[in-house]
Structure 1
Amino acid sequence: MRQALSGFVFKSAFPLKTIMILAMAMTFVVADVASSLAAKSAAIVVDAKTGKVLYSANADGRRYPASLTKMMTLYLTFEAMAKGKISRNSPVVFSAHASAEAPTKLGVKPGGSVAVETAILSIVTKSANDSATALGEMLGGNETNFARMMTAKARQLGMNGTVFRNANGLPDPGQFTTARDMATLGIALREHFPQYYGYFAQRSFLYGRQRINGHNRLLGRIKGVDGIKTGYTRASGFNLVSSVNDGNRRLVAVVMGGTSGGSRDNQMAGLINTYLPRASTRGGGDLVAKADSNPISALAKVLLPKHDAPTPDEKPVAVAEADTAVADDATVAQGDSEDEDTAEAEAPKLVVPAKKVKTVIVSAPKVATAQVVAAYAEPTPAVDPVSTASVPSGWAIQVASSPKQSEAQAFLDKTTKQAPKVLANASGFTVAFDKDGATYYRARFGGFGSKDAAWKACTALKKKKIECYAVQQ
């Protein structure tokens, strides 16, 4: 090879100047490829006291959430607990569907049950896919309805760039989010449910006689880190949402699309070390409005995309098409699995000094098998997003406003039928506002990652005689 290369360099008929130009061109091509690969990751750091964005990289780019999805599953679980609909000792029965979920899983057989607290602990530590599905079925009646509840709650929190299709984050091409939305959810979990937030700090727990260790390697290694969640599938790469509290300052940081568990953790550690000193020691109260809707006579329908959404604008890792096309293939459908543990073992160690922290072991009470009572199931909540003062939530299209929420919702339904292709990847919602002492409702479609994307969709709607305009949430 060296001889052939030498022959080309010194015996080529091309002038030396031409060769140098070609070499420079190749250098630029390599640089462009490297830049493209770097752009596949996404990250954001938010001051959790003031809402100020301290760092952002591709924060509004569409990404697969992987097991970060379980953060919303736990949000709705905590909400049900806070309302008294379930308790930490309520039995969670595993259906055949839940028991058949791909690893990582708790391994409960069909018809078996665990306590709600056990399901929570298995999710925050082991990232158990079967536990997430079982909780979703208990709260929503079935996983499809629970996914609607998840998406509706996302809208209420201002997460307009997110659509959920399942409770655990296993691959589904129609399930997506953004780093910015995950930061919003991370902030909301602490603000809205401080009484349950301590679960995210669990590093291990006892399940029977088995000690189950967690995937979050930053707990106990980075000062102030107190949660929240890891995530991994082949299509998403390695994801992580971290909450940091040093007593005076608070951060929520998100890293998505890491090439390994170790590199993701190192990136997160670097962001924390860099931006925690820059965070404010003073706060202005809650940043994400609590999404408890006022009682209404009718519940609005959540408009999930009618077709599978396209893959993220840039895939976080190189992946064969089969990895995303065959969503239920257990060989590809992996959440936080042994693959992440293997990658972590092979990755370079964190560059920050490690601090030894005693592992806390929690024994969950055993619960006998029981049928899920219908009272546990929640109806699909109304879609009435409350914009957050902390994290802007992307771009939306407004198509109408009305003094009646039912009329605004009816206009959303009508518009969806008139332009199904234009709005295939958008989600409709209503938002209340006051005008001259009266309440009106805006009809909007969210889920647009940029101003250009919203304008392009609005232009397509206008061609169909549908008036609209783009607005930043």
Structure 2
Amino acid sequence: MKNFKKSLWIFLILFIVSFNLVWAEDLSNISGTQAIVYDYETGEIIYTKDIDSKSYPASITKLMTALLLAENFNKDEMLTYTQSAADQPAYSYGKNVEQVLVGDKMSAEDAMYALLLYSGNDIAYMIADNVSGDSAKFVNAMNLKAKELGMTSTNFVTPNGIDDNTEVHLTTPYDIAIMTKAAFENDWIEKTMKTERVVVSTENSREREIENRNKNLGLNGCIGGKTGYTEKAGRCLTSIYKNNDRTLIGVVMNSEYIYGVDTAVFEDMNTIMEYSFNREKDTLKKSGDIIKSVTASYKVIPFIGPNRTIDIPLFINEDIKYYKTEIEPKIDVKVNTFNLWKIDPSTPLGTITITLKDYSETYTLYSDISSSKLLKDNIFIYVGLGIGVLILIILIVIIFKKIFGRKKRRYRY
């Protein structure tokens, strides 16, 4: 009976472990068609799902609008509510929260809250008009900022992400991760994204409390983010999570949206984040692996010759680890110029650089070749040369003896 119970416990433990391992590797259950997890500090990409295909970002667009607001206004400066803001559809502050008249004033701080927490479509246009004069000029500024950040696959058409009348308001999960990092690096935006609820108002309207639409905020390490939805885009979400002093950015695009439920994209985010925080790196190259062999020539006798060639294996003395995803690592090997007679196993002879998107890491290459090995490889030449030199010395001595012997005899005579 005891053996049976022991076997049962072992079976259960193995089952749980194997289930967790399978679950950790299998993320096919997320409903989002695109996703990425990006290390905020290092730029390493931990998880990918079709990260370079262009799609609609919906209201995640407003992160770029927030960046331009933060760069052009102080919190206490006032913005004027414009006609183009009033013309925006539902999910606008002036239509769904509190009536706002054209010409009314709102502080930049409250505008930032209404933009990122409530995701007011009208607030985005109010910001655009106040920053650039009109939305067309503002969109141009948005695209210039995107290029500055390295968002090479992004094209903005509207300040709020509404895509009803366009097919080219597009970006990628990777570009959104870059934008999210840039936004979160701004102290004003970071504070706003971390806020769960706040009271805002315009000069001529009542105060209203608005709540952050990011349902994950404050749970499982989520410290910020931005939601989005249009019929074209599906449910979208970008988030920042912090766990044990490690910060990750996650993006899920085109997730499922069920009216009245709306949990899929938030569950997707928690799934990819839990996976990424627990994931271990894969080994690309092991310590001692030969990365490249080069042929070098050297003089058997320094500065004199003759010339010989030798194959030099270049290896690393540490493991190269990375997160294996759909991104193929680019490998660049560079070999230094060196003098074979002056190297030893501690001499750096080159580098190998591993690049994945904007992240790269460089490792040093070494070899086991040394001057003592060169001497050993050419020992017969040196022995022969030594014998030759010895014979030459003996011949010189004999010749000198003969010469001096004749001179001595002549002297006697």
Cα distance in 1 between the residues matched to 2:189 and 2:213 = 19
Asked whether 1:206 is paired with 2:207, we answer no
Question: What is the percentage of aligned positions where both structures have the same residue?
Answer: 28
Cα distance in 2 between the residues matched to 1:88 and 1:195 = 8
Tell me the amino acid that sits aligned with residue 139 of structure 1: V
Q: 1:195 offset after TM fit, Å? A: 4.8
Q: 1:49 aligns with which of 27, 32, 41?
A: 41
Match of 2:248 in 1: 251
Asked whether 1:189 is paired with 2:192, we answer no
Q: 1:277 offset after TM fit, Å? A: 3.3
Match of 1:163 in 2: 155
Cα distance in 2 between the residues matched to 1:279 and 1:141 = 49
Cα distance in 2 between the residues matched to 1:210 and 1:95 = 20
Q: Is the 8 A contact 1:51 1:390 kept in 2?
A: no
Distance change in 2, residues 1:39/1:245 (3 Å): closer
Cα distance in 1 between the residues matched to 2:190 and 2:271 = 24
Q: 1:240 aligns with which of 237, 242, 256?
A: 237
Asked whether 1:221 is paired with 2:219, we answer yes
Tell me the amino acid that sits aligned with residue 166 of structure 1: T
SS of match in other structure, 1:173: coil
Asked whether 1:61 is paired with 2:53, we answer yes
Tell me the amino acid that sits aligned with residue 266 of structure 1: E
SS of match in other structure, 1:230: strand
SS of match in other structure, 1:109: coil
Match of 1:268 in 2: 269
Cα distance in 2 between the residues matched to 1:227 and 1:391 = 24
Cα distance in 1 between the residues matched to 2:179 and 2:254 = 18
Q: 2:82 aligns with which of 88, 95, 107?
A: 95
Q: 1:194 offset after TM fit, Å? A: 3.0
SS of match in other structure, 2:75: coil
SS of match in other structure, 1:218: coil
Match of 2:127 in 1: 135
Distance change in 2, residues 1:279/1:246 (3 Å): farther
Cα distance in 2 between the residues matched to 1:162 and 1:277 = 31
TM norm structure 1: 0.49
Q: 1:40 offset after TM fit, Å? A: 7.1
Cα distance in 1 between the residues matched to 2:207 and 2:184 = 31
Q: Is the 8 A contact 1:39 1:58 kept in 2?
A: no
SS of match in other structure, 1:251: strand
Q: Where do 1:386-401 residues align within 5 Å?
A: 391-392=357-358
TM norm structure 2: 0.56
Q: 1:109 aligns with which of 84, 101, 106?
A: 101
Cα distance in 2 between the residues matched to 1:226 and 1:131 = 23
Cα distance in 2 between the residues matched to 1:204 and 1:117 = 14
Distance change in 2, residues 1:240/1:391 (3 Å): farther
Distance change in 2, residues 1:195/1:120 (3 Å): closer
Q: What do residues 221-254 of structure 1 show as CA deviations (whole Å, max 9, x unaligned)?
A: 22x2111100000110000000012251010000
Q: Where do 1:62-77 residues align within 5 Å?
A: 62-77=54-69
Distance change in 2, residues 1:210/1:190 (3 Å): closer
Tell me the amino acid that sits aligned with residue 106 of structure 2: V
Tell me the amino acid that sits aligned with residue 203 of structure 1: E
Distance change in 2, residues 1:37/1:61 (3 Å): farther
Q: Is the 8 A contact 1:66 1:231 kept in 2?
A: yes
Tell me the amino acid that sits aligned with residue 195 of structure 2: Q
Match of 1:176 in 2: 170
Tell me the amino acid that sits aligned with residue 84 of structure 2: H
Q: Is the 8 A contact 2:30 2:268 kept in 1?
A: no
Q: What do residues 135-180 of structure 1 show as CA deviations (whole Å, max 9, x unaligned)?
A: 0111111100100000011001100110111111111322110000
Structure 1 segments of 4+ aligned residues over 2 angstroms from their partners = 36-40, 207-210, 277-280, 389-393
Greater RCO between the two (CA within 8 Å, min separation 6)?
1
Cα distance in 2 between the residues matched to 1:52 and 1:87 = 33
SS of match in other structure, 1:76: helix
Distance change in 2, residues 1:278/1:47 (3 Å): farther
Structure 1 or 2, whichever has the larger Rg, is: 2
Q: Is the 8 A contact 1:62 1:161 kept in 2?
A: yes
Q: 1:390 offset after TM fit, Å? A: 8.1
Q: What do residues 100-152 of structure 1 show as CA deviations (whole Å, max 9, x unaligned)?
A: 10121110221112110111001111100111111011111110010000001
| Aligned length in residues | 243
Q: 1:79 offset after TM fit, Å? A: 1.8
SS of match in other structure, 2:263: helix
Q: Where do 1:298-309 residues align within 5 Å?
A: none
Q: 1:77 offset after TM fit, Å? A: 1.3
CA RMSD of aligned residues (A): 2.3
Q: Is the 8 A contact 1:67 1:127 kept in 2?
A: yes
Q: Is the 8 A contact 1:251 1:279 kept in 2?
A: no
Cα distance in 1 between the residues matched to 2:272 and 2:67 = 25
Q: Unpaired runs of 5+ in structure 2?
A: 1-27, 95-99, 201-205, 282-354, 360-413
Q: Unpaired runs of 5+ in structure 1?
A: 1-35, 81-85, 281-388, 394-473
Q: 1:148 aligns with which of 136, 140, 143?
A: 140
Cα distance in 1 between the residues matched to 2:152 and 2:192 = 27
Cα distance in 2 between the residues matched to 1:176 and 1:105 = 22
